[in-house]
Each structure stands twice: as C-alpha cells, then as structure tokens.
Structure 1
Amino acid sequence: MTAYAIAHIRPTTPNEDVLRYIEGIQATMDPFGGRFLVHGREVEVLEGPFPGTIVMIGFPDLERARAWYASDAYQAILPLRTDHIPGEVVLVEGVAPDYDAARTAAGLRASAGL
C-alpha cells in the first residue's frame, strides 16, 4: 500500500545548507521509489492556524518509506535541513483504492455501541 512522508515546515530564509539538502534529496529517494507529490507550493488554509508549508513524498509502501528515512544517504544530509528549518515529519500509510469512509464509520459505531 502506498505510503507518504509528510513534512510541515515553517518559513525560513534559504541558505547554502538548505540548498544543498534540496539538491541532494532526490538521489536519496530514488533507490526506494520515492517521488515528490507536493514540494514548494503555497498552501490554502481553510481551517485553523497553519504556519508554513507542506512537503509530501510518495513511496510504494511503508517499509520503503522507513528504509529511505533511515538510510545512510538520507541521514547524511538530514542535518542540512533540521539545523535550519523547524517542522515536523511523519510517515503514514495510505488507504486502499476501495476504501469507504462509511464502512469505517459503521465499524466505529458498532465498536462504540452507537
């Protein structure tokens, strides 16, 4: 099942380290089938405060997303970002193509006795 690495990053001024990180990240993702889905785009905030922007990377599965993040190649460049750009990063597995939110609600109702 497809998995995603999602980063919520805060505004910052680009510097040489950040630019080297951006220049090098794709090569760290390639062996794991990673590709950018969202990168460097303005977000349209519809609810609540949301400083910053989103970066989203898709991977074929959660195992490859984890392997990419833990890889020597990515860990070598990671401080170039973390030393300069505050934010959070999460990995999450996607849903199956036939996912139905109503079925999820029905299961939640049944387990809660509602």
Structure 2
Amino acid sequence: MVLLKVIVLLVVFTSCWAEEEKELSVSELLWRANKDVVHTEDEPLVIDDIAYDNENERNADQCTSSGCMWPRSADGNVYVPYVIANHYTSRELSIIERGLESFTEVSCIRFIKWTGQRDYLSIQSHNG
C-alpha cells in the first residue's frame, strides 16, 4: 500500500511539474537548467543559449543597425553556414540536424555545412 501511495504521489508530482514547465519561457527554462553550473575562466560568457566573448557584445542593436545579418541570396533564401562539434553522439547529431532542417519548412533560412566562410554558427556543448 505504501508503494502504491509513493507511485501515485510521483505521478501527481511529475504531472504538476510538467504543467508548470510548459508555461515557462525558453529563456526561463534555460536559466533554470544552467543557474547552478560552474563555468571555467576559459569559457565564453553564456546567456540563455548565446555565447559572448564579453558582456559588451550582448547589444543586438549594434549588429542589426550596421547590417551584419546574413544576406538574402538571389533565390530569396538566407544561407547560414554551421559546424557541429564532434563530441555529440550520432543520435544527438541527428536531433540537431533535424532541428536545423525544420527551419526550411517555416522560413527562408537554410542551414548549410560550413566550408570556411568567415561568419558561421558553431554548435557545441560546454557546461550548462
């Protein structure tokens, strides 16, 4: 009987926790997941899911006002080069690649493998 009560409590607790999590923004979820992580000095500053070399880089207005976005190609698409670090499992790599491909269905963004372009996304996992 005690085991049944524990299982019921776990199911109720898990259900309540899941409902609470669904209402949180992505930023809040990321903050909760990373709030207790201890970073080393050689790691970049990470806020939400963006890495910065220093606090001054956080101002997106500087970037958008100077036109530093990836250009739209003649075919109307925006091609964004990316590289994925090699420390992911094949399953994790597949999930990341499917996520990138999903942008094709809803936007003009097309992620392409990095071939030496100056600007590119580097997808990697550090602490957090």
Q: Shorter-chain-normalised TM-score: which range?
A: under 0.3
Q: Which has the larger radius of gyration?
A: 2
Higher relative contact order (CA 8 A, sep 6+): 1
Q: Quick check: which one's strand share is greater? A: 1
TM (norm. structure 1) is 0.26
